[in-house]
Homo-oligomer: A and B are copies of this chain.
Amino acid sequence: MAWSAEERVRELGLVIPDYADPPYGERYATMKAFHHLGRQLTISGMTPEDRQGNRVFPGRVGETVTLEQGYAAARYAAVNVLGLIRYAVGSLDEVTGFIRTLTFVCVSPGFTDVNLVTNGAADLFIEVFGDRIGRSTSAGIGVTSLSGNNVFEMVTVVETRSPAPEEDA
């Protein structure tokens, strides 16, 4: 039987935000949610915020945020990425692979377990998509600050089963 990411979401009881209602972008007038070209779907930078802009564990890992909180924030942002994938292509089952994740963690200079924070996102994707589809190439970077004092931000590019619909240019 084929793996279904949508079924896994139900099994895991994940609550995924709906970026259609209200539409994504009202609070971010200069950004768009995604770009789909061919089978490459690029998702905008996502942070651990709910749709009202409330942040999960803002601050800096190694100072005001613990490793465990950072991991939870990364997982929260990754659930938001799932919401944007649905918004872009309708269903998580359209995803046939992860092309790339690039993850940024706000850290103190002495904190070097960046990968243990970003695993919060990587583990979530494997739980939902399975090992074959959910693993990604990735890099995790410890940085000085992120917008709105967020502790985590990630850029995600996935491969979709169907190419983007042709537009009238």
Contacts and interface: CB of A to CB of B under 8 A. Distances in A.
A142 B139 contact: no
Contacts of A37: 39-40, 97, 99, 159
Nearest to A62: B145
Interface residues of A, number: 57
B104 A139 contact: yes
A44 B138 contact: yes
Nearest to A158: B35
Given A34-B137, A107-B145, A139-B155, 19 more contacts: A30-B122, A30-B126, A31-B122, A35-B137, A35-B159, A37-B159, A60-B109, A96-B167, A96-B169, A102-B102, A107-B144, A108-B144, A112-B148, A113-B147, A115-B147, A139-B154, A142-B143, A144-B144, A161-B169
How many copies of this chain?
3
A127 to B, nearest CB: 11
A49 to B, nearest CB: 12
B42 A140 contact: no
A110 to B, nearest CB: 8
Interface string A87-131: 000000000111110101001111111110001001100100000
A25 to B, nearest CB: 8
Contacts of A139: 44-45, 102, 104, 153-155
A149 interface: yes
Of A34, A35, A99, which is in contact with the most chain B CB atoms at under 10 Å from its CB? A35
